[in-house]
Structure 1
Amino acid sequence: MNPFVHRTLVVQLQAGGTGRCPVLAHLSYDADDPFAVTVVFGHDGHVLARWRLDREMLADGLVKSVGVGDVRLRPVDTGMSRDSRELRMEFLGDARPDGGRHHAVVFAWAPTVAAFLRETHRVVAPGQEEVPVDELLADILSGAE
């Protein structure tokens, strides 16, 4: 079985009080880092931002509000049907010169994110994640000599 899952989707970016504009979101999952999903946002061949998200938090954000720090997720009812729900992802970035922080909100189609997560669950089921702590410690200690 392939230990990688990748999905590219068009999402809507809202930043700085502007309206929404479409950007690409590249979601990737690697079984070697079983708790994380990497999201790279891009437009016109340029990387706008890269975030590592907790896989369980991403799944929880499809059904309830989660996050209190730099990343906050919650479902949004578009008023159409259950299949047209969005996932609202709010990101707080580095400090700006004026003392504020960079801030962006991204809206993704929730069924597509859910399908991506189902694929990751086929690679590593929730609760079956393992991190090779002994190997990691051995690598760290061997470099300390």
Structure 2
Amino acid sequence: MNSFVHKTLVVQLLAPGTGRCPVLAHLRYDADDPFAVTAVFAHDGRVLACWRLDREMLSAGLAGPVGVGDVRLRPAATGRWQELRLEFLGDTRPDGSRHRAVVFAWAPAVAAFLRETHLVVMPGRERVPVDELLAEILSTG
């Protein structure tokens, strides 16, 4: 059985003044890091941003608003189109405001990706090898 899941989605980046533009979102889940989903956003072969998201938070964001820090997620509906709204806050600008990006993903595609991750590691069955990590740290002095 695979220990990872990878899915590429076309998502919509909300660009100030121009509306939405399509970008690629490469979602990756690896059983070696069972709590995280890596999201790499790219356009024209260039990486725009890379974020590590909490898998449980990503799942909860499909059902209701979550997040109060740098990442905020919530469901958004446009008619029959069900979306997940992802808001990312970045570094502080010289004027004190923060860089901000809003991305809309098709919610059923995100839910399908999460279902695939649950086949790799079921929620609640995540394990972090703390004992092995400590042994490695202590052995290297």
**TM superposition score category, shorter chain reference:** over 0.9
Whole-angstrom distance in 1 between the partners of 2:71 and 2:78? 21
Whether 1:130 and 2:116 are equivalent positions in the alignment is no
Whole-angstrom distance in 2 between the partners of 1:77 and 1:111? 12
TM-score computed with the length of structure 2 as normaliser:
0.96
- Give 1:37's aligned amino acid: V
TM-score computed with the length of structure 1 as normaliser:
0.94
- Give 1:119's aligned amino acid: E
Alignment of 1:27-42 (within 5 A): 27-42=27-42
Whole-angstrom distance in 2 between the partners of 1:36 and 1:22? 24
- Of all paired residues, the percent bearing the same amino acid is 78
Q: Note the residue ranges of structure 2 that are not aligned, 5 or more in a row.
A: none
Q: CA deviation at 1:142?
A: 2.4
Whole-angstrom distance in 2 between the partners of 1:36 and 1:142? 27
Q: Note the residue ranges of structure 1 that are not aligned, 5 or more in a row.
A: none
CA RMSD of aligned residues (A): 1.0
For residue 20 of structure 1, what is the aligned residue in structure 2?
A: 20
Is the CA contact 2:60–2:66 (under 8 Å) kept in the aligned structure 1? yes
- Give 1:142's aligned amino acid: S
SS in 2 for 1:52: strand
Structure 1 stretches of 4+ with a deviation exceeding 3 A read 15-18
Whole-angstrom distance in 2 between the partners of 1:139 and 1:97? 42
Alignment of 1:92-107 (within 5 A): 92-107=89-104
Moved more, 60-69 or 15-24: 15-24
SS in 1 for 2:116: helix
- Give 1:23's aligned amino acid: V
Is the CA contact 2:15–2:21 (under 8 Å) kept in the aligned structure 1? no
Query: When the two structures are aligned, how many residues end up with a matched partner?
Result: 141
Alignment of 1:55-74 (within 5 A): 55-74=55-74
